[in-house]
């Protein structure tokens, strides 16, 4: 551990407080957009087709961007306050650029009616759209800003870690693979940060390439890029972004859970092998998004299926085994923080399993583009990543004794979690009943039973969305109060 001086610590504290407030305010607003979509699909309200896709685009881009930014911000704080000096000016540059990008996206969607979905499927944003050209241009520029901020952030953290721990090979743990005894132990959070952020750099570069192609196309409509190439770039970028959001969070689960269980969680050969394997496989797993693109060379489909299977096994198995050995007979006090970590890992495992099912080519033929797809990623984002983030915020702002006394937050947490699982269950049930995804409503489906099943499931799911919002609100009473006190109190770390 490195010692951070009090002035630098105060600056890092200000930055994480800013990220936390931003996350806490925007997150429920994006949930409300999700609620509007489900109300529309349930035929309770009528948004109109155009508005549905506007809402879907802002919700999808917003959630993915917000959760990644907050996960990155939290990891940054943890690394900066314990292990490595990170430049606060770079931190503020990232925050400001992200906020400008978000404002741009809000204007492009809510005012400009940009509604191409998060994946901006080429050449969709340029052909026969119901929104003006400036909204497409603003969306692209905003996404470029977000990409620049994240790219610089990842490079800065990886560079600082590599400098501090003796090189790139050391931060991905290769010193553990030789015969020599390791002199300086590598904290697991550093290993996982490196394994998350280095593929992030590659993914953000791929994002930059397709966004620049989009920008050129926007100014020169005569251009024509290869559709398959663009789709590969987009899905490599999007899939990796979501994957590394989860891994950033796992970094602090490895770092913080031992503080509750009282047991060490150290880097060893097995951990290094499994996280290095994950590093390799996450780069290729995205091919499972392109099974229906028949022009994609067949070996890449097979690589996609294999990489999806293999990417799920090492990190998941080792992390779960690690979590079990952390808590088994450990006399851990089940306050909100270890509870969110344990159940967050469970959400990750459930959603991950559903993803692996869908990445099986024979099954994908049936589940492709049904509600099974949002089912699996909502599971590991809403009942995985969001739990890890809440756990981080409670850990940051409450002592263990305060957590024991805070019964209200635990009540809010269980309300949120049970409702969240019921909400995603409506997506799984939709997938199993062949309800298509990304339909504004199901009235156009000529099969009466499919139409009514889709609408009924959507309407029922809104009840759970209201309940999970209530659960969140209950936790907010405590989080906001504690965050304010923590921020004002200079002695609290």
Closest CA to 98 of 209, 22, 196: 22
For residue 436, the cross-strand partners are: 370
Nearer to ligand HEM, 79 or 234 (CB): 234
What whole-number distance in Å separates Cα of residue 368 and Cα of residue 294?
14
Closest CA to 145 of 110, 105, 112: 105
Give the interface with ligand HEM as residue ranges (CB under 6 A): 31, 34-35, 37-38, 56, 59-60, 63-64, 67, 117-118, 374, 378, 381-382, 386, 423, 437-439, 465, 468
User: Residue 316 Cβ, how far from ligand HEM at the closest point, in Å?
Assistant: 19
SS3 assignment, position 119: coil
Nearer to ligand HEM, 75 or 267 (CB): 75
Burial of 248 (0-12, 13-18, 19+ CB in 10 A): buried
User: Residue 34 Cβ, how far from ligand HEM at the closest point, in Å?
Assistant: 3
User: Residue 390 Cβ, how far from ligand HEM at the closest point, in Å?
Assistant: 12
Spatial neighbors of 167 by CB under 8 A, at least 6 apart, are none
Nearer to ligand HEM, 237 or 487 (CB): 237
Nearer to ligand HEM, 63 or 272 (CB): 63
For residue 174, the cross-strand partners are: none
Q: Which residue is nearest to ligand HEM (CB)?
A: 34
Phi-psi domain of 333 (left: phi exceeds 0; alpha: psi -120 through 50; beta: other): beta
Nearer to ligand HEM, 78 or 386 (CB): 386
Nearer to ligand HEM, 16 or 387 (CB): 387
Residues belonging to the chain = 493
User: Residue 379 Cβ, how far from ligand HEM at the closest point, in Å?
Assistant: 10
Cβ of 179: how many Cβ atoms within 10 Å?
Answer: 4
CA distances from 102 to 109, 212, 377 (A): 11, 18, 22
User: Residue 196 Cβ, how far from ligand HEM at the closest point, in Å?
Assistant: 16
User: Residue 98 Cβ, how far from ligand HEM at the closest point, in Å?
Assistant: 16
What whole-number distance in Å separates Cα of residue 217 and Cα of residue 211?
10
User: Residue 121 Cβ, how far from ligand HEM at the closest point, in Å?
Assistant: 9
SS3 assignment, position 335: coil
What whole-number distance in Å separates Cα of residue 311 and Cα of residue 307?
6
């Amino acid at each position: 551990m490195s010692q951070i001086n009090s002035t630098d610590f105060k600056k890092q504290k200000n930055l994480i407080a800013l990220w936390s407030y931003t996350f806490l305010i925007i997150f429920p607003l994006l949930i409300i957009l999700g609620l509007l979509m489900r109300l529309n699909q349930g035929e309770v309200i009528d948004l109109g087709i155009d508005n549905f896709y506007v809402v879907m685009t802002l919700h999808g881009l917003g959630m993915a961007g917000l959760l990644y930014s907050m996960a990155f911000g939290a990891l940054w704080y943890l690394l900066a306050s314990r292990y490595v000096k990170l430049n606060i000016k770079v931190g503020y540059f990232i925050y400001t650029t992200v906020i400008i990008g978000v404002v741009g996206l809000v204007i492009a969607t809510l005012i400009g009616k940009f509604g191409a979905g998060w994946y901006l499927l080429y050449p969709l944003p340029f052909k026969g759209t119901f929104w003006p050209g400036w909204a497409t241009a603003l969306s692209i520029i905003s996404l470029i800003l977000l990409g620049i901020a994240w790219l610089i952030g990842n490079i800065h953290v990886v560079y600082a870690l590599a400098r501090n721990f003796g090189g790139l090979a050391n931060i991905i743990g290769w010193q553990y693979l030789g015969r020599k005894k390791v002199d300086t132990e590598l904290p697991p959070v550093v290993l996982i940060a490196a394994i998350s952020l280095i593929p992030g750099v590659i993914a953000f570069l791929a994002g930059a390439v397709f966004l620049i192609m989009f920008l050129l196309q926007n100014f020169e409509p005569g251009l024509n890029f290869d559709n398959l190439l663009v789709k590969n770039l987009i899905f490599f970028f999007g899939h990796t972004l979501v994957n590394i959001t989860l891994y950033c969070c796992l970094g602090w689960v490895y770092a913080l859970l031992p503080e509750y269980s009282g047991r060490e969680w150290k880097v060893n050969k097995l951990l290094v092998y499994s996280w290095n394997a994950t590093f390799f496989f996450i780069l290729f797993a995205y091919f499972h998004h392109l099974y229906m693109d028949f022009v994609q060379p067949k070996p890449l489909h097979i690589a996609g299926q294999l990489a999806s299977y293999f990417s799920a096994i090492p990190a998941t198995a080792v992390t779960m085994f690690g979590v079990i050995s952390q808590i088994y007979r450990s006399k851990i006090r089940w306050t909100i923080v270890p509870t969110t970590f344990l159940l967050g890992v469970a959400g990750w495992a459930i959603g991950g399993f559903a993803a692996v099912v869908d990445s099986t080519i024979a099954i994908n033929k049936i589940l492709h583009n049904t509600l099974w797809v949002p089912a699996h990623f909502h599971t590991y984002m809403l009942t995985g990543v969001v739990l890890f983030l809440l756990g981080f915020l409670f850990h940051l702002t409450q002592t263990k004794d305060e957590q024991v006394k805070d019964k209200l937050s635990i009540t809010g947490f269980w309300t949120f979690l049970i409702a969240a699982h019921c909400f995603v269950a409506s997506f799984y049930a939709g997938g199993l009943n062949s309800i298509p995804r990304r339909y504004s409503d199901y009235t156009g489906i000529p099969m009466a039973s499919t139409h009514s099943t889709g609408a009924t499931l959507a309407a029922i799911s809104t009840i759970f969305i209201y309940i999970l919002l209530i659960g969140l609100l209950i936790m907010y009473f405590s989080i906001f109060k504690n965050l304010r006190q923590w921020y004002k109190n200079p002695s609290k770390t």
